[in-house]
Amino acid sequence: MIAVIAALEREVSGLVRGWERRELTGRKMVFSGQDVVVACAGMGAARASLAVEAALAMGGVSELISVGVAGACDPALKVGDVVRAGVVVDALTGERFGDGVGSVLVTGASVASVAEKRRLWNSYGASAVDMEAAAVGRIARGHGLRFRAIKAISDEAGFELEGLEQFATADGQFREGAFAVHSALRPWTWGDVVRLARNSGRAVEALTEALKAELGRGQG
């Protein structure tokens, strides 16, 4: 069985439409398909670890795939481009996970600024940056499971919207209502907020199509 690990349910909503859905304690969601389980528990390394735990509890898992939206470090990448990472680097520890075939994805502890994306591009040759993949890779290595990461670009290398971290909850969710109120009171941010919403939607659509094709091959 393949276990697909995402941060937020909206990142995999198109993939799991019509699947059996279970909500577990601690804001963990598990969706069951044919030979595939999808789990999400929120943003960040700790929450990704909980999602993996929920997926492994289903039994029979042989591969973990970290999926979701990510920020571009490579200036050539555009919104909706799909990055298949052969190397995942933990920015905090320097550990590397993956089979080495494909792009470099760096996992950081928070949403990356433009300056941080540039640093990761220069330091690691990173195509993209996320907040969960290294945690998934670490568990895969510990359990002797295959591992890979598939991410879709939601924000390009030159885009950032300051202050997003303050809307993350302790359990890795995003307070959309509070963010909407915050943005409504700051009209100078409206253009970037609209771009972020539109680009996130495009990234999720691209990710959904990529995963359907990938899992279709894997199950065939």
Cβ(88)–Cβ(137) below 8 Å: yes
More reliable by pLDDT, 160 or 71: 71
**Please, which residues bridge with residue 216 across strands?**
none
pLDDT at residue number 175: 59
Residue 220 has a pLDDT of 36
Mean residue pLDDT across the chain: 90
Q: Residue 39's closest CA among 29, 27, 49, 53? A: 29
Cα–Cα–Cα angle for 102, 209, 85, rounded to 5 degrees? 15
Residue with more model confidence, 173 or 148: 148
Query: What is the Cα–Cα distance from 78 to 151, expressed in whole angstroms?
Result: 12
* Cα dihedral value 186, 115, 77, 132, nearest 10: -90
Distance separating alpha carbons of residues 22 and 29, to the nearest angstrom: 6
* Tens of pLDDT, residues 42-60: 989 999 999 999 999 999 9
Q: Is the pLDDT of residue 100 over 80?
A: yes
In the predicted model, is pLDDT for residue 67 greater than 80?
A: yes
**Structural domains in the chain?**
2-219 (3.40.50.1580)
With a CB cutoff of 8 Å and minimum separation 6, the contacts of 158 are 75, 114
126-137 pLDDT, tens digit each: 999 999 999 999
Position 150 scores a pLDDT of 97
User: What is the residue whose two structure tokens read 């290595």?
Assistant: 141
Q: Does residue 219 have a pLDDT over 50?
A: no
Q: What percent of the chain has pLDDT over 70?
A: 92
Q: Whole-model pTM? A: 0.87
Query: pLDDT at position 182, please?
Result: 65
CB atoms within 10 A of CB 29: 20
What gap in Å lies between CA 128 and CA 210, rounded to an integer?
17
Tell which wins on pLDDT, 219 or 31: 31
Q: What pLDDT band is residue 25 in, cutting at 50, 70 and 90?
A: confident
pLDDT band, very low/low/confident/very high, at 218 (cuts 50, 70, 90): very low
How many other β-carbons are positioned within 10 Å of the β-carbon of residue 110? Answer: 12
- How far apart (Å, rounded) are the C-alpha atoms in residues 51 and 67? 12
**At 26, is the pLDDT very low, low, confident or very high (cuts 50, 70, 90)?**
confident
Across 69-75, average pLDDT: 97
pLDDT at 109: 87
69/151 Cα distance (integer angstroms): 5
pLDDT at 164: 67
Mention every residue, 6+ apart, whose C-beta is less than 8 A from residue 68.
6, 7, 8, 11, 130, 132, 151, 152, 207
Sequence letter at residue 97: F
Q: Phi and psi dihedrals of 106, rounded to 5?
A: -105, 135
